[in-house]
Amino acid sequence: MSTLRTEEMTLNMGPQHPSTHGVLRFVIKADGEVMREAIPDVGYLHRSIEKIAEKVGYHGFMPYTDRVDYVCAMFTNQGWGMACEKLANIEVPRRGEYCRVIAAEFNRLASHLLTVGLMGMDIGAMTPFLHALREREMINDLIEELCGARLTFNYMRIGGVAWDLPPGWREKALAYLDHLDPIINEFNSLFSYNKICVERLAKVAPISAEDAINYNLVGPNLRASGVNWDVRKNIPYSVYPEFDFEVPLGSGEWGIVGDAMDRYMMRIREMVQSSRILRQALKRMPEGPVLAKVVRNFKPPAGECQIRVESARGDQGWYVVSDGTAFPWRVHVRTGSFAAMGIIQKLSRGLMIADLVVLIASLDVIAPEIDR
């Protein structure tokens, strides 16, 4: 009698696949529904932004930073601005810092809305995704009024921001926040606390705190594993120390600390905190200029520095080497998604194919941030 033989099935997921956010590719070794391993293959959106920085100069690079992470471009703007300011020792006016914080936190709301919506889409519920898009549209309106673009803002400049808030914008923003808070509750009752959603997300791919640190996970993914670390609190930058907000941590109330549900809930809770920061910032707005005097031909002294910004995808590191000329010698962005992709291969062992989708969505990876 011939013996039955089984063999591994190698699946190719992507680069065009509905649940790989952007263009990622996974080579999946599967045994039926259960995966042996999923090997990520990135680079399909490598746009050589770091090389371009060496060609276009400091001011000219600002629009490119938008494209490093198009979902929350304000933070990449801010990171680049802060890195240049640190190199050249420029002080940003206080109103400029407030404008930065307000724009960035609105962008964080928009980014997290997209993340939680995409999570819904990936596990098969289109409605939460479209509701999240509906809310995003209104944030886009506000940001468009602020800086003229919906997605790639180019709002910040080295030494501050390009424009002050338009007249009447503050009231509109506060009104939107009043509108958003119940919407988050609605979103929770539609999707987050849905029995099927909890069953799908809880206990999937937990990451221990040691692993999270060792693999250099950052931001919400790290905090979901219970590590209390937020750049805004721990290495304070901008005017964040003036605001009263909490850093939500993964509690594992639905399963294990650091599972997909914790990572997902982290985004929801951060939206609430962002809304809190925004209310305070909008109310306490000081008067004054928004942009420091920076020469057009910006030449920081030779040197190098690293800046860390708490973006929506976590701690974003900007490493800039200047040689004293008008062009940076080397720019490197260390992004949250890049690190998060590194851990997928380890976590994927023993998961089901449907869980891989959840894992990718819960780590909130964005293709341009990985590839740059």
Q: Which string of b and e fits 97-107 if b means at least 16 CB within 10 Å?
A: bbbbbbbbbbb
For residues 22 and 248, which CB has a smaller minimum distance to other proteins in the complex? 22
- Contact call for residue 63 and other proteins (CB under 8 A): yes
x-or-dash pattern for other proteins, window 334-353, by CB under 8 A?
x---xx-xxx--x-----xx
For residues 286 and 325, which CB has a smaller minimum distance to other proteins in the complex? 325
For residues 87 and 99, which CB has a smaller minimum distance to other proteins in the complex? 87
d(CA 312, CA 349): 27
Q: Which residues contact 2 (CB under 8 A, 6 or more apart)?
A: none
- Contact call for residue 11 and other proteins (CB under 8 A): yes
- Contact call for residue 303 and other proteins (CB under 8 A): yes
Strands 9-13 and 25-31 turn out to be: antiparallel
CB of 266 to other proteins, least distance (A): 17
What is the identity of the amino acid at 102?
I
For residues 289 and 334, which CB has a smaller minimum distance to other proteins in the complex? 334
Structure tokens at 351: 């998961």
What is the identity of the amino acid at 183?
I
Question: Nearest 5°: CA angle at 68, between 63 and 72?
Answer: 90
Q: For residue 189, which phi and psi values (nearest 5 degrees)?
A: -75, -25
d(CA 273, CA 21): 26
For residues 86 and 170, which CB has a smaller minimum distance to other proteins in the complex? 86
- Contact call for residue 191 and other proteins (CB under 8 A): yes
Q: Are 96 and 77 in contact (CB under 8 A)?
A: no
Candidate segments 90-98, 101-109, 191-199, 289-297, binder of other proteins by CB under 8 A = 191-199
Q: Are 107 and 143 in contact (CB under 8 A)?
A: yes
- Give the DSSP H or E segment for 11: strand 9-13
From the list 82, 35, 42, the residue with the least C-alpha distance to 337 is 42
x-or-dash pattern for other proteins, window 18-57, by CB under 8 A?
xx--xx---------x--------xxxxxxxxxxx--xx-
Map the footprint of other proteins across residues 206-225, applying CB under 8 A: 211, 213-216
Residue from 59, 304, 326, 327 binding other proteins (CB under 8 A): 304
For residues 66 and 290, which CB has a smaller minimum distance to other proteins in the complex? 66
Count of residues of this chain found to bind other proteins when the rule CB under 8 A is applied: 99
For residues 15 and 255, which CB has a smaller minimum distance to other proteins in the complex? 15
x-or-dash pattern for other proteins, window 134-173, by CB under 8 A?
x-xxx-x---------xxx---------------------
Candidate segments 258-266, 271-279, 280-288, 303-311, binder of other proteins by CB under 8 A = 303-311
CB of 278 to other proteins, least distance (A): 20
d(CA 357, CA 359): 5
CB of 366 to other proteins, least distance (A): 10
d(CA 268, CA 109): 9
Structure tokens at 363: 């780590």
Residue from 35, 103, 104, 123 binding other proteins (CB under 8 A): 123
Q: C-alpha dihedral over 202, 181, 120, 222, to 10 degrees?
A: -50
d(CA 239, CA 223): 22
- Contact call for residue 200 and other proteins (CB under 8 A): yes
* Strand residue runs (E) in 101-153: none
- Contact call for residue 86 and other proteins (CB under 8 A): yes
Map the footprint of other proteins across residues 223-282, applying CB under 8 A: 227, 229, 234-235
For residues 55 and 284, which CB has a smaller minimum distance to other proteins in the complex? 55
